[in-house]
Amino acid sequence: MQEAATVRRLSFGRESDMRNSVAWFHHAGALALTLLLLGAARAEEELKNPFAGDAAAAAEGKRLFLKTGCYACHGHEAEGAVGPDLTDDEWIYKPTDSMIFNTIAKGRPGTVMAPFGDQLTPDEIWKIVEFLRDKNRQRHLEQR
């Protein structure tokens, strides 16, 4: 359905008649929407961890993980307790840097995972993300 809608919109754009103000309005709206979606997608793609691979940041991330109280649900080593294991590969959604960052910042509505964006700076969240990704990498190394 989404594909069909996109095709229709593009075809409408090619055949647009600028004398038809209603059509022009639709055309501009579709363009704006497309740009907006592209922009949002780019923003999602651009959420890369500035501390990726930084061991000191991962260590600081663990300190923040404990200080913030994440351990109460996820365990001291993020191995899971009330909340899920954050070191394995068993995630509901693909554990990209963006996804983990957004989940910490905004929470996950409908679950017990609350937003922490009000008490952690973006850099602090990225350090926690790096701690978790580092735990996952260590786990893979151990399994080899």
Partner 1 sequence: MKVRMAHDLVRGAPKFLLALAFALAAHQGLAQGVTDDMLLNAHKESDNWRMVGRDYMSTRFSPLNQVSTKNVRRLVPKWTFSFGVLDAQNTTPLIHNGVMYVTASHGRTFAVNAKTGSMIWQYNHPLPEDAGKNMCCDIGNRGAALYGDKVFVSTPDAHVVALDMNTGKPVWDVALGNYKNAYSMTVAPLIAKGKVIVGLSGAEYPTRLFIEALDANTGQQAWRRYTIPAPGEPGAETWGSDADNLKFGGASAWITGSYDPALNTVYWGTGNPNPDWDGVGREGDNLYSNSTLALDPDTGAIKFHFQYTPHDVWDFDGVNEHVLADLGGKKVWLHGDRNGFLYSIDRTNGKFVYGKEISKVNWATGFTPEGRPIVNPEKVPSYTYEAKDICPASEGGKWWNPMSYSPAKQMVFVPSREICTDIKSAKGERTEGKPHWGIGSIKWNKGHGQLVAFDAKSGNKKWTVDAPSPFMSGVLTTGGGLVFAGTPEGEFKAYDQDTGRELWSYQTGSGIVGSPITFAIDGKQYVAVPSGFGGWTGWATIGGGGAPHLKDSRKGGYVTVFGLFDE
- Report in angstroms the alpha-carbon separations of 35 from 1, 30, 41: 20, 9, 10
Residue with tokens 């923040």: 64
Our CB check for partner 1 shows the closer of 33 and 114 to be 114
Q: Which long-range contacts (CB under 8 A, 24 or more apart) does 96-101 make?
A: 97/47, 97/48, 97/49, 97/52, 97/126, 97/129, 97/133, 98/44, 98/45, 98/47, 100/129, 100/132, 100/133, 101/47, 101/49, 101/125, 101/126, 101/129
Is 85 a binding residue for partner 1 by CB under 8 A? The answer is: yes
Among 32, 69, 89, 121, binds partner 1 (CB under 8 A): 69
**Cβ atoms 120, 68 nearer than 8 A:** yes
- 71 near partner 1, judged by CB under 8 A: yes
Stretch that binds partner 1, among 3-11, 96-104, 110-118, 121-129 (CB under 8 A): 110-118
Query: Is residue 60 within the footprint of partner 1 (CB under 8 A)?
Result: no
Among 61, 84, 100, 135, binds partner 1 (CB under 8 A): 84
Candidate list 67, 93, 122, 140; residue touching partner 1; CB under 8 A: 67
144 binds partner 1 (CB under 8 A): no
Residues lying near partner 1 in the complex (CB under 8 A) are found at 67-69, 71-72, 75-77, 79-82, 84-85, 90, 107, 109, 111-115
